[in-house]
Structure 1
């Protein structure tokens, strides 16, 4: 049974005959908040089944034949640029696919095996980061939205920018901070403030087996603490199977209050609470096949 941790907009139990309605609730949650916490996905097969319900899968260069990517420690190879996510060290806040022409819109990551120590996940709403900077250093938002001020990828990078503006008062975020990211001197002085805004608005999650998150990759940044032990996750990237407008709202509506409500905080002055999977879950879908061998790879 797939469940979703209680978040704004998900309030009641959904029964088997209401699977279609559950899919609609997932879509509504992504559109409104950019984030859905999931539980009950204990195998690779169940992750794949859920992913196919909400997205058209887009293969990654490190994905397996089923288009899911196995996230596990690959040893010294993880020290190469762009492979930090496949190691045991800290992974800085980023969006997926920043160096490709059109980054995938959705990302699903599910834990199948916890590490012995560490491995906390950090999620940051880019809308909150944008609003934070707009309220404190508006010049930073203007320059970080200027085309060609960021370069992501090999060979000098793909010209881009941190914030991309879309019609209708909407904005998306594209960002990484590893060896495959370079920035114009024009925005260099604003990068420490950008990183501080990301940290100030991040939420900490410790995933247990079967738990994970579905995010709007054009809105949410994700990161990970260093860990030890055989941590194992699987990731799906893709295009949504439901309408989703470009980016997030930046027309003055603000997002900080919504983010705090989503995380369960009652005050903007509180430290971000930990979403540790103990929230009362509400069922979003009926039973899914739980095949697979539990190690993140499909059985023959």
Structure 2
């Protein structure tokens, strides 16, 4: 298995993986296996459970359902998934997410990635942090959810989705900020075509991920985890660093 910096043909040492993830928010996987990714994560993270998992923190994602009124299982279809934070509505979303492609789609199925740190930096050029902090998620049933951007001293954490389960709104009536976040996320989306054995690790508090629609039996595995509390990079569980406004 090879680990690569995004956008460069630079291989990442396994010992430097946490530092590289902290710096870039994403690390690419090439020629990997489930056992190798699991062993890599076990060195510095703890699995986070998911209702659909088949093993600790590990879920197989492949088309198996057709949706009616609820798309909480949209991942298990061939439909597109808009860029989102995994477990966005939960009190403590996992900080590390990894995917590994087992069987690529016959057509389509590109992975999509959005750097939330870039989106936030652009949004902060036009609004104060207090106004951005008013962006929240609201469920389809009208229940208020967590903040889209959670500011803590020196760090920020993003949790985002925009689908039939929940979407962003502004508690201050700033529809322009909601539209601005959506537009910036769309404009900064990156597309990755993953072959068998390819994948990525992302800082789930920073990077949004999704996919385009596809045909064929696309199958991948997803790992959810948080950084071990005793690890030097356990601060990734709080978010990503930001400069003061």
TM-score (norm 2): 0.87
Q: Could you list the runs of 4 or more consecutive aligned residues of structure 1 that deviate by over 6 angstroms after TM superposition?
A: none
Q: CA deviation at 1:30?
A: 1.0
1:85 to 66, 70, 75: 75
Kindly tell me: are residues 78 and 195 of structure 1, through their superposed partners in 2, closer, same or farther at Cα, counting changes over 3 Å?
same
Question: Is the contact made by 1:31 and 1:244 (CA closer than 8 Å) also made in structure 2?
Answer: no
Q: Render the CA deviation track for 1:60-96: whole Å, top value 9, x for unaligned.
A: 0111134310010112148623221211111111101
1:105 to 95, 112, 126: 95
Question: Is the contact made by 1:34 and 1:215 (CA closer than 8 Å) also made in structure 2?
Answer: yes
Q: CA deviation at 1:9?
A: 9.7
Is residue 32 from structure 1 mapped to residue 23 from structure 2 by the alignment?
yes
Is residue 249 from structure 1 mapped to residue 241 from structure 2 by the alignment?
yes
Tell me what 1:53 maps to: 43
The structure with the greater share of residues assigned to strand is 2
Question: Is the contact made by 1:152 and 1:176 (CA closer than 8 Å) also made in structure 2?
Answer: no
Output the aligned Cα RMSD. Answer: 2.5
1:11-22 correspondence to structure 2 within 5 Å: 11=10, 22=13
The structure with the greater share of residues assigned to helix is 1
SS in 2 for 1:164: strand
1:57-136 correspondence to structure 2 within 5 Å: 57-77=47-67, 80-135=70-125
Q: CA deviation at 1:244?
A: 3.6
1:222-241 correspondence to structure 2 within 5 Å: 222-241=209-228
Gap runs ≥5 in structure 2: none
Tell me what 1:264 maps to: none
Question: Is the contact made by 1:37 and 1:213 (CA closer than 8 Å) also made in structure 2?
Answer: yes
Kindly tell me: are residues 78 and 87 of structure 1, through their superposed partners in 2, closer, same or farther at Cα, counting changes over 3 Å?
farther
Kindly tell me: are residues 174 and 66 of structure 1, through their superposed partners in 2, closer, same or farther at Cα, counting changes over 3 Å?
closer
Question: Is the contact made by 2:30 and 2:198 (CA closer than 8 Å) also made in structure 1?
Answer: yes
Please give the alpha-carbon distance, in whole angstroms, between the structure 1 residues aligned to 2:21 and 2:136.
27
SS in 2 for 1:132: helix
Q: Render the CA deviation track for 1:213-271: whole Å, top value 9, x for unaligned.
A: 11100000112100000000000101113324232232169xxxxxxxxxxxxxxxxxx
Question: Is the contact made by 1:10 and 1:25 (CA closer than 8 Å) also made in structure 2?
Answer: no
SS in 1 for 2:190: strand
Kindly tell me: are residues 204 and 79 of structure 1, through their superposed partners in 2, closer, same or farther at Cα, counting changes over 3 Å?
farther
Kindly tell me: are residues 236 and 152 of structure 1, through their superposed partners in 2, closer, same or farther at Cα, counting changes over 3 Å?
farther
1:167-186 correspondence to structure 2 within 5 Å: 167-168=153-154, 170-182=155-167, 183-184=169-170, 186=173
Please give the alpha-carbon distance, in whole angstroms, between the structure 2 residues aligned to 1:233 and 1:26.
22
Is residue 161 from structure 1 mapped to residue 152 from structure 2 by the alignment?
no
Question: Is the contact made by 1:71 and 1:232 (CA closer than 8 Å) also made in structure 2?
Answer: yes
Give the length in aligned residue pairs.
238
Is residue 142 from structure 1 mapped to residue 130 from structure 2 by the alignment?
yes
Tell me what 1:208 maps to: 195
The structure with more radius of gyration: 1
